[in-house]
Structure 1
Amino acid sequence: MWIDDYVKLHFPVNPEDMCIEEAQIFKYKHLPASLYRYREFNKYNIENLFKEQEWQSYPSEFNDPFDSRIKIGYEKVKNDYFFTNTFEEFINMIKEQGFSFTKEDINGYTFIR
C-alpha cells in the first residue's frame, strides 16, 4: 500500500534518511482530487451551502494533537524572522492566530534543518 511507502520516506528509522519533500510529492500523487463531508439536510447547512461558507474548529479543539502540528523550516524562519524578532515574539504571533501552547508544547516542536 502506498501509505507504507510514504511513512518510510517521511518517518524513517534513521533521521538522516528523511525525505520530506519526496514524501510530500508522493503523498499528493495518491490523494483524491476532492474530499466530501456529509452533512445533515437542514436549514442551517443549506444556508451555508448557498453562502459558500464552511465552519471549522480551531486547532486547539481538535481531538488529535497531531492534526495541527506545526513544522517549521528552520533556515526560513531564521532568515526571515529571527533577524528582527525573538522566539518569544514568534510564539506570541502564532498564539494570536488562535493556537494555544503549553511550555511542553513549545519545547516539543522540532525545527527542520
Structure 2
Amino acid sequence: MDEMVSLAAQDDPEPYFDAHIFVCCNRRPDGHKRGSCAAKGSEALRDYMKARVKEAGIPHARVNMAGCLDRCEEGPCLVIYPAGVWYRIETRADVDAVIEQHLAGGGRAEALRLPPERS
C-alpha cells in the first residue's frame, strides 16, 4: 500500500468546522518511557487555546481535548483537521503562533510543525 487511500466519499458533506483542533491531553504514569502530553502541560495549553480562539473571534473553529494521539515523544502536540497539520506546542507563545499564523492567517506556523511521516 504505497499510495494514500482517501476515506472521503464523493457525496460526503462539507466539514462541520473549518478548523477542528485536537490537543492531546493524555496522561500516563510519571516516569513512563514515552512520557505524555498532559505531564508536559498540554491541559493548560488547551484551555488557553480554547479561550484565545474564542477571544480572537475565529469562526467555525473548535478546540477539543483528545486522548493519546500517539506522538508522545514529540508532544505536547495538537492536530488541526481537516488539513491534518500537526504542531508541537510547549508555551502560550506557541499557541498564539498557531492561532495567528494558521487559524487567523491561513498559513502555517512552520517553526512548530511536526513532520507528517508515519512509520
Report the TM-score, using the length of structure 2 for normalisation: 0.25
Q: Which has the higher helix share?
A: 1
Report the TM-score, using the length of structure 1 for normalisation: 0.26
- Which structure: larger Rg? 1
Q: Which has the higher strand share?
A: 2
Task: Answer 1 or 2: higher relative contact order, Cα 8 Å, separation at least 6.
Answer: 2
